[in-house]
Amino acid sequence: MDDINLKLPELYINRELSLLEFNRRVFEQAKDENNPLLERLRFLCIASTNLDEFFEIRVAGLHQQVKYGSVQTGEDNLTPVELLKKISEVAHELVEEQYKILNEVLIPELAKEKIRILRRAHWKPKISRWIKRYFNRELVPILSPIGLDPAHPFPRVLNKNLYFIVTLEGKDAFGREGGLAIVQAPRSLPRIIEVPKEYSTRTNDFILLSSVIHAHVGDLFPGMKVKGCYQFRVTRNSDLFVDDEEVDDLLRALEGELPSRRYNDAVRLEVADNCPEEISSFLLDQFKLTDDALYKVNGPVNLNRLLQIHDLVDRPDLVFPGFTPDIPPRLLKATNIFETLHNGDILLLHPFQSFAPVVDFLRQAANDPAVLSIKQTLYRTGDESAIVKALKDAANAGKEVTVVIELRARFDEEANIELASDLQEAGAHVVYGVVGYKTHAKMIMVVRREGRSLRRYMHLGTGNYHTRTARLYTDYGLLTADQAVGEDVNKLFHQMTGLGRATKLKKLLQSPFTLHKAILGYIQDEINYARAGKEARIIAKMNALVEPQIIRALYEASMAGVKIDLIIRGICCLRPGIKGISENIQVRSIIGRFLEHTRIYYFHNDGNPHLYCASADWMQRNLFHRVEACFPIEEKRPRVQVIKLGLMNYLSDNSQAWILQSDGTYKRAKPGNAKPKAAQQTLLEHYCF
């Protein structure tokens, strides 16, 4: 056993390829006939959006490595060049299949339900006349076609925006010969246009903006002949660079970087599949891309914009049924949430249980004269956030409000800069965490005067303080008045807002100081129990498993006889089922109506289990480069709840579970002769029906 080299590259799945496999599982939901039709369309759009971000961040990073000559490899030993080639192969296959499902399955199925995306060939005269008026009214005043010549070089093309390249013949008013022109689709106009009912023979007819421009692009070039018009879209590097060692004002540095995201280096070019090779090559040259980065598509290049149809069509029979989230009985009866917490912790599982108690917790704190201060971390909040309003109300009421805002929450940087300004204007103290470490912990601490003493009340969560995602993501939130936890949370806030060494915590584990070491220690304990002939078990649920030391520790545990179940939604770099190494490890991914986002760690500990929920996945960035909070679930009722419904329920899923194979692929679990069981449906029935 000791002779096995657990650092061999073949023991590790590449992170980027694993992420593509996750996207394949999301896409498979679009093919699943058990899902309502409009939800299948939504899953297709989500898969497309995921792929956009994959190119903007992960592929862009690899391009940067190649550009600067890096040959650095990960645990799997793939170089950036080798990995880009593999990614291109898988991504091209995925994109081709996405458009095939769209054109051959979803569009025909939607048409049967009288939901049509009308192609130009199917426009009736009445609709054509309406579209012509729409073009003249909404587009002509905005469009600015650019002819390409020495006075008009190739324009700067925005990241992920819809464009057209037009080939022209003839002479213009100045005697210039036709050639090429670029037309940018207005960003202010919807990509999906609903045909007014008076012009449509069906219930729901839609026109693509790209079709409108295609049909009337000739009007933009009077006297010229349009030989061809081809849509295209370029994806650019969207990662922001801020030099942590040089920056003296993080907010100003990010404000300076945000505009560059639109024009960073290109990493992918999408064009219509009827685009001639010479035009595609011309575009590739303009963006300094190779053929591997070219994706020819049979449909709209901005596929994710079809999501608008899901929102525009009022067909309850074609979407997931609605439900009313549960509210724990103790909170329904309570008029004062602080008094309720004197009698024990309250654990919430969103979206099956309402997020409203978290908002109420803050609202009561804002309005309660006995509350002296509120401290909170914010990573993502959403527009018109009730959480933010409560914080502003508290600050306006004269309470001490301190908010740690993570400005670098990817793609929410601009919103968080604006949020910081709003809170400061209301009188809150706003800090941006620690330079070099993202603040990813989800914490609220309320300090309340009770008699002669001060008492702390906390909320700790696995997900963001975002009321919309709380309806879409599965997350745990713990409301507690445990004073040891309160002391720990207070210390964490002091770390983020002040200066000083990390002090010892009583109950919480935190990144970047104690969490990684504690996980390795708990795994080693299970190894020791197994070697002593005792029952040993590890169950962990998270979004991603990447960190190599933990993976090697799990391999060692498996080899010692520890039974290990991992419920990992997305990236998993560990290979299960390898003879002599990972035979005792099973990895499953649950893909369903809700995005799995809870992080739960369970270690059997000789019958006295360690049970934690956390904001952190087992990735290098979470364990070493972020501020994360991992909190114990100690009271009996919440512990039973987490183990039974948050873990065992998922391990018995035989309908929405995908089992990771040792070759890095996933196979969907099937009920066979057993009763079909879906973990998310079980939770809906338990809490909501």
Q: What amino acid is encoded at 542 in this protein?
A: M
Contacts of 447 (CB under 8 A, 6+ apart): 371, 372, 373, 374, 454, 455, 456
User: Which is nearest to 382 in space by CA: 279, 282, 488, 463?
Assistant: 463
Alpha-carbon dihedral sign for residues 85, 87, 90, 91: negative
Helix (H) or strand (E) holding 268: strand 266-272
| Whether the bond into 186 is cis, omega within 30 of 0 | no
Helix (H) or strand (E) holding 480: strand 473-480
Q: Of the residues 214, 440, 597, 604, which is catalytic?
A: 440
User: Which is nearest to 350 in space by CA: 464, 217, 482, 244?
Assistant: 464
308-322 burial, b for 16+ CB within 10 Å, e for fewer?
Answer: bbbeebeeeebbeee
| Angstrom distance (rounded) from CA 617 to CA 221 | 54
Q: Roughly what angle, to the nearest 10 degrees, separates helices 37-53 and 80-101?
A: 160
| Whether the bond into 676 is cis, omega within 30 of 0 | no
| Angstrom distance (rounded) from CA 463 to CA 443 | 10
Q: The tokens of 343 are what?
A: 């009698």
Number of H helices, E strands in the chain: 22, 27
| Angstrom distance (rounded) from CA 99 to CA 328 | 44
| Angstrom distance (rounded) from CA 415 to CA 121 | 42
CA 469 to chain centre: 10
H runs (alpha helix) in 334-382: 337-342, 356-367
What would you measure as the largest C-alpha separation in the chain, in angstroms? 90
Q: Is 299 helix (H, G, I), strand (E, B) or coil?
A: coil
CA 126 to chain centre: 42
Whether the CB-CB separation of 84 and 66 falls below 8 Å is answered with: yes
Q: Is 433 helix (H, G, I), strand (E, B) or coil?
A: coil
Look up 440 and say whether it is catalytic: yes
For residue 370, the 8-state DSSP code is T
Give 576's strand partners.
Answer: none
Give 537's strand partners.
Answer: 563
User: What Rg, from alpha-carbon coordinates, does the chain have?
Assistant: 27
Q: Is 265 helix (H, G, I), strand (E, B) or coil?
A: coil
Helix (H) or strand (E) holding 570: none
Alpha-carbon dihedral sign for residues 500, 504, 510, 511: positive
| Angstrom distance (rounded) from CA 457 to CA 374 | 10
Mind telling me the catalytic residues? 440
